[in-house]
């Protein structure tokens, strides 16, 4: 049976913009389906239609492009979900990344102790000792806790790690405090000692006692072996005028006199303990989590 003349005439058109059912004089409208209209040449004769398709080379290129795009999207999502110290170069850290290192990383611990000392007031201290800029700590003390028996918050940082050094340096660069700093050199510089830093809105006890006192009242303790490491020295970091204490840094040797590491490789947890006016400050660090993209970072 020959196709109707109207059908043959439609097939001889140079382009195809709709689907025609051959061999039937009745053209029924079906429910439309979403499709992309392509203006490609058609070769038609009787009941045979041959559509010219894209060359194989373009198909392969398109498949390659789709695979590459999917891989790039996956890498972007992984980067976004990873913490900055694992998934993002520290040269690209922004202020939010730095804040995450100082407050939410394995190298940072926040704790509270009971105040057993009478706090100094801002009027008694030059430059307002109690209005420090400790990260994650109120700039001024809550009046309800600014008395004996109240709680005092301390931020404890494992400051000698590559991650923490990168955060300190990057923060200084973003705030314009270190315009000529060689970031890579500073971060990669070997540290001969472990450094634990204390920050708080109330560092009054350290104004009453010197660094040698706290050198004798602080230590690192291995949770597994219960072995203790005493500080080699303690340093008070003050403001440019040398009056206000901004932070207190405890230095611990990395190697014993025998040459062995003071923290064994199989140790998983270390606690920093400090006696502050009769209140014991104690925080734990999980060493197996203190790892960046280059390995263990202490």
What is the DSSP track for 106-145?
TTEEEEEEE--S-PPPGGGSTT-TTS---TTS-SS--TTT
Q: What does pTM read for this prediction? A: 0.68
Q: What residues contact 93, with CB distance under 8 A and at least 6 apart?
A: 84, 101, 166, 167, 170
CA nearest to 115, candidates 279, 283, 285: 279
Instruction: Encode pLDDT of 265-298 as tens digits.
Output: 899 999 999 999 999 999 999 999 999 888 899 9
DSSP assignment letter at 209: S
CA nearest to 292, candidates 89, 141, 135, 92: 89
In whole angstroms, give the CA distance from residue 44 to residue 9: 10
pLDDT in tens, the chain (298 residues): 555 544 444 434 443 333 333 344 444 444 445 544 444 444 444 444 444 444 454 455 555 555 555 555 544 444 457 899 988 999 999 999 999 999 999 999 999 999 998 876 544 443 333 333 445 554 444 444 567 878 999 999 999 999 999 999 999 999 988 878 888 888 989 899 999 999 999 999 999 899 999 999 999 999 888 999 999 999 999 988 888 899 999 999 999 999 999 999 899 999 999 999 999 999 999 999 999 888 899 9
The domain limits of the chain are: 1-53, 63-87, 89-296
CA nearest to 133, candidates 246, 248, 250: 246
């Amino acid at each position: 049976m020959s196709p109707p003349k109207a059908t043959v005439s439609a097939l001889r058109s140079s382009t195809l913009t709709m689907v025609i059912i051959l061999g039937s004089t009745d053209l029924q409208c079906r429910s439309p389906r979403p499709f992309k209209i392509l203006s490609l040449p058609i070769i038609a004769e009787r009941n045979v239609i041959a559509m010219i398709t894209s060359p194989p080379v373009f198909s392969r290129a398109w498949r390659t492009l789709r695979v590459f795009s999917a891989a790039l999207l996956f890498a972007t999502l992984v980067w976004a979900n990873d913490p900055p110290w694992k998934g993002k170069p520290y040269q690209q850290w922004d202020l939010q990344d730095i804040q995450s290192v100082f407050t939410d990383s394995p190298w940072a611990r926040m704790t509270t102790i009971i105040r057993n000392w009478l706090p100094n007031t801002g009027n008694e201290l030059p430059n307002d000792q109690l209005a420090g800029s400790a990260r994650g700590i109120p700039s001024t003390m809550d009046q309800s806790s600014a008395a004996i028996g109240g709680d005092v918050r301390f931020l404890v940082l494992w400051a000698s790690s590559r991650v923490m050094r990168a955060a300190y340096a990057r923060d200084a660069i973003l705030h314009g405090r270190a315009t000529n700093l060689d970031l890579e050199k500073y971060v990669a510089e070997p540290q001969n000692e472990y450094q634990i830093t204390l920050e708080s809105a109330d560092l009054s006890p350290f104004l009453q006692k010197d660094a040698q006192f706290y050198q004798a009242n602080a230590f690192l303790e291995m949770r597994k072996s219960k072995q203790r490491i005493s500080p080699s020295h303690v340093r008070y970091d003050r403001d440019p005028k040398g009056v206000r204490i901004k932070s207190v840094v405890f230095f611990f040797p990395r190697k014993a006199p025998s040459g062995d590491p003071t923290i064994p490789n199989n140790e998983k947890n270390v606690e920093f303990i400090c006696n502050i006016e009769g209140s014991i400050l104690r925080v734990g660090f999980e060493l197996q989590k203190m790892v960046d993209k280059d390995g263990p970072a202490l």
